[in-house]
A and B are shown apart, each in its own frame.
Chain A
Amino acid sequence: MSAPTLRVVHLYPRLMNIYGDRGNIMCLRHRCEARGIGFELTELGIGDRFDSAAADLIFAGGAQDREQRNVVEDLLATKADAVREAVEAAVVLLAVCGAYQLFGRFYREATGMELPGVGIFDLHTEHPGEKAKRLIGNIVAELVGPLPSSGQGGHPPITIVGFENHGGRTYLAPGVRPLAKVRSGHGNNGRDGAEGAVYRNAYGTYIHGSLLPKNPAFADHLIGLALRRRYGDVELARIDNRAEELAHRAALRLRP
């Protein structure tokens, strides 16, 4: 069998890139290429159609309100069905910040008006009004659930670190698994200690910074899931993580 290739689809890279989201793509590429794994990137913008069979991993990042309005219309019209189909077929999805909100059920504006989302995650987001403070700052959270060594069998929990900056407060429906438990920072809504959401192989989170470069365990988890879905058992070789681990450890000590 020829060497595996990770096929990444980046949704709206020109419009949803506000918080260093490019770093996540750079990280996926690096962690594949350093291991001799192929890497193919497809960038989809307004009007482009999405082929659910052509992606192993879908990524979407954060946007400003103006761009998010442009995106939402196109997303619902040309891509939402295919993204849902892909997620049901266990394709990996990583949605950060604005995209995380878009992939929920709806976004309720301060006026009470509800904007529909893609509905991958059973959650909704509320904007508490212009007077309420945005949730901004460094964040440290502990991954829950899917990673085999995360807080189980005596292993210390795997931490995930970065920066959050969001006005909306996100609430998970009962039974929906959060991605992580907040150690310091705000997370989904600043109240219930949950950060992000997981559905099948789809992950939503408010953490940028960029997220993946300094959370290499999480990056490898996503790469491994995506490759194993298509190629069966794939072993990810160890690669040099010194710089990554230094950045991760330094972030654990930051003020929120």
Chain B
Amino acid sequence: MYPAFVNPRASLAILAGKAAGTASRLLGRGGGTAIAGVVALGVDQGLVRTLSRQAAAGAIAVTGTNGKTTTSLMLNRVAAAAGLRPLHNRSGSNMMRGVAAMLVDEASISGSIADAARRLAILEVDEATLPEITREVRPRVIVFTNLFRDQLDRYGEVDTVARSWRSALRGQGTGDRGQPQEEPPTIVLNADDPAVAHLGRGYGGPVLYYGVEDASAGGDVVEHASDFRTCLECGADLAYSVTFYGHVGHWRCASCGNARPSADVRLTRVTARGDATEMAVATAGGELDILLPLTGLYNAYNALAAVAGATALGLPSEAIVSALAEFSAAFGRQERFQLDGRDVQVLLGKNPTGLNQVLRAVAARPGRKRLLFFLNDGIADGRDISWIWDTDYEVVQPQTEWALAAGTRAEDLALRLKYAGFGEYVEIERDAATALRRAIEATPAGETLYVLPTYTAMLEVREIIAKRAGEGHFWEGA
């Protein structure tokens, strides 16, 4: 069906990309997985299109501010359980170059993807990259998780992201040269996030909404870190009967009647069970009982988005339930390690809403807490760290036994923690390895240490832990 030899330019691009990737790995530039993509795209700009479209089962894209790495890894597991072979940019490199690097890695030098008949592309996509990915890959399904302020110095305003999503969807339903395309992608939307749900209004293709129905999982206070508190149709204030986090909840505009759409995939019951979460999910195909081995409502949302995405792809319920029951965390997202007899949990928190969710999940765990916070201001973290003032560190303070501020902006973090009641003077450690050693020493054997890093700090921490635990590097895959 697919020619073994796609085109000479693609072959050359793949060859160059593979060479660059190998060189980067030999030089020990671990984690720099995207370099192969940069080089390959430099040779052939159309490479992502050429390679991704070979996957016979098509593609699903996952985008949004928080949860895209975990949601796409869940989809990966479900697809594998359904007998498909995922093409997945699982290193978290989610811009064009990261997707290209993954495809280069999976392609033969002749330009073909092996076992294409069983392939499903699962693409975690950076919010700002969605228009380009949509154009090049033409996914069958696009899953949107949520939209919040994140790295304003890189993305610009939250509204800019919303606009770019709408522009990505506007062109759908037409082919490359403007002729009608057989099927525009199904968009899978979080009904509880007014900014995401808004994408469904006027969309020309199929829309599948998912949402949390179980109001006992929420509260009645709109958190400070909320970005869409006014109606996107008329500008009036939104009213909430229940809020789950940030501006996510059961919303309604009192002025124009714009309201949360009714959900097709519904979380009807959610209960914390120690290290796991029990979920009852209603779908058109029946009720699914899922025991998810992760905690925190945000992970229930991730699983719900994955169920909705898998449903849109037509994957069987048995695969969904079994894959989610055996799920283990994506790297740095509630990932657990044993280190010197301590249970070390690494929980990425890179923006106010994401970190608020993590802090609430930590606070919900029993016992006194030992916390190692990292704040870095690298490009991938966002250079502006003012978001820590929008984050509710206060929620974990009453149970904190010990805390240390680390990272390139440790001083700012220590000041924020002072304001959160952690004491006049929170200790600071700039060196990541030393900070981790001090935190392990401060944690009694058998107890849990919670490490809460920003993105680049998470990569550092994981490297240090991987070295100490003697396990493989993450970019080699688990």
- Complex CA gap A243/B159 in Å reads 35
Q: 1/0 per residue B121-139: CB within 8 Å of A?
A: 0000000000000000000
Q: Are A243 and B414 in contact (CB under 8 A)?
A: yes
Choice from B159, B409, B415 contacting A64 with Cβ under 8 Å: B159
Q: 1/0 per residue A182-211: CB within 8 Å of B?
A: 000000000000000000000000001110
Nearest-Cβ distance from residue A15 to partner chain B, whole angstroms: 8
Q: Could you write out 20 A-B pairs with CB less than 8 Å apart?
A: A15-B229, A17-B224, A22-B389, A46-B237, A64-B158, A66-B157, A134-B156, A136-B383, A137-B383, A138-B383, A163-B153, A208-B386, A213-B419, A214-B412, A243-B414, A243-B418, A246-B411, A246-B415, A247-B415, A250-B409
Task: Add 10 more A-B contacts to A20-B388, A210-B389 (CB < 8 A).
Answer: A15-B230, A17-B390, A19-B384, A20-B387, A21-B389, A64-B158, A65-B157, A65-B159, A70-B235, A165-B152
Q: Are A209 and B386 in contact (CB under 8 A)?
A: yes
B residues with CB within 8 A of A: 149, 152-153, 156-159, 224, 229-230, 235, 237, 377, 383-390, 409, 411-412, 414-416, 418-419, 424-426, 428
Q: Are B384 and A250 in contact (CB under 8 A)?
A: no
Residues of A within 8 A of B377 (CB): 254
Q: Are B424 and A240 in contact (CB under 8 A)?
A: yes
- Complex CA gap A210/B384 in Å reads 10
- Complex CA gap A214/B415 in Å reads 8
Q: Are B384 and A246 in contact (CB under 8 A)?
A: no
Q: Are B383 and A210 in contact (CB under 8 A)?
A: no
Residues of B within 8 A of A138 (CB): 383
Nearest-Cβ distance from residue A97 to partner chain B, whole angstroms: 10
Minimal Cβ-Cβ distance residue in A for B154: A136
Q: Are B389 and A70 in contact (CB under 8 A)?
A: no
Residues of B within 8 A of A44 (CB): none
- Complex CA gap A137/B379 in Å reads 11
A-B pairs under 8 A by CB, number: 95
Minimal Cβ-Cβ distance residue in B for A255: B383
- Complex CA gap A214/B418 in Å reads 12
Q: Are A243 and B157 in contact (CB under 8 A)?
A: no
Nearest-Cβ distance from residue B198 to partner chain A, whole angstroms: 12
Residues of B within 8 A of A26 (CB): 389, 419
- Complex CA gap A202/B155 in Å reads 31
Minimal Cβ-Cβ distance residue in A for B228: A66
A63-104 interface with B by 8 A CB criterion = 64-67, 70
Q: Are B415 and A243 in contact (CB under 8 A)?
A: yes
6 closest A-B pairs by CB: A23-B389, A20-B389, A20-B386, A250-B411, A247-B411, A247-B415
Residues of B within 8 A of A251 (CB): 411-412
Q: Are A247 and B412 in contact (CB under 8 A)?
A: yes
- Complex CA gap A254/B375 in Å reads 14
- Complex CA gap A210/B387 in Å reads 9
Q: Are A246 and B414 in contact (CB under 8 A)?
A: yes
Residues of A within 8 A of B425 (CB): 240, 242-243
- Complex CA gap A35/B253 in Å reads 43
A14 sits at the interface (CB 8 A): yes
**Is the interface on chain A under 10, 10 to 19, 20 to 34, or 35 or more residues?**
35 or more
A18 sits at the interface (CB 8 A): yes
Residues of A within 8 A of B229 (CB): 14-15
A19-B152, A243-B424, A250-B411 given as contacts; is B159 within 8 A of A210 (CB)?
Answer: no
Choice from A15, A17, A163, A165 contacting B385 with Cβ under 8 Å: A163
Residues of A within 8 A of B159 (CB): 64-66
Residues of B within 8 A of A244 (CB): 415
- Complex CA gap A14/B226 in Å reads 9
A30 sits at the interface (CB 8 A): yes
- Complex CA gap A207/B409 in Å reads 17
Nearest-Cβ distance from residue B256 to partner chain A, whole angstroms: 15
Nearest-Cβ distance from residue A156 to partner chain B, whole angstroms: 20
- Complex CA gap A229/B426 in Å reads 35
Nearest-Cβ distance from residue B419 to partner chain A, whole angstroms: 5
Nearest-Cβ distance from residue B160 to partner chain A, whole angstroms: 9
Residues of A within 8 A of B152 (CB): 18-19, 165
- Complex CA gap A21/B352 in Å reads 13
Q: 1/0 per residue A216-256: CB within 8 Å of B?
A: 00000000000000000000000010111011011100100
Nearest-Cβ distance from residue B326 to partner chain A, whole angstroms: 40
A136-B153, A163-B384, A213-B419 given as contacts; is B230 within 8 A of A67 (CB)?
Answer: yes
Residues of B within 8 A of A17 (CB): 224, 390
A21-50 interface with B by 8 A CB criterion = 21-23, 26-27, 30, 46
- Complex CA gap A26/B158 in Å reads 24
Minimal Cβ-Cβ distance residue in B for A246: B411
Nearest-Cβ distance from residue A219 to partner chain B, whole angstroms: 12
Minimal Cβ-Cβ distance residue in B for A208: B386
Residues of B within 8 A of A243 (CB): 411, 414-415, 418, 424-426
Nearest-Cβ distance from residue A224 to partner chain B, whole angstroms: 21
- Complex CA gap A70/B229 in Å reads 12
Minimal Cβ-Cβ distance residue in B for A64: B157
Q: Are B419 and A247 in contact (CB under 8 A)?
A: no
Residues of B within 8 A of A137 (CB): 153, 383
- Complex CA gap A137/B386 in Å reads 12
Q: Are A22 and B230 in contact (CB under 8 A)?
A: no
Minimal Cβ-Cβ distance residue in B for A26: B419
Nearest-Cβ distance from residue A203 to partner chain B, whole angstroms: 18
- Complex CA gap A165/B153 in Å reads 7
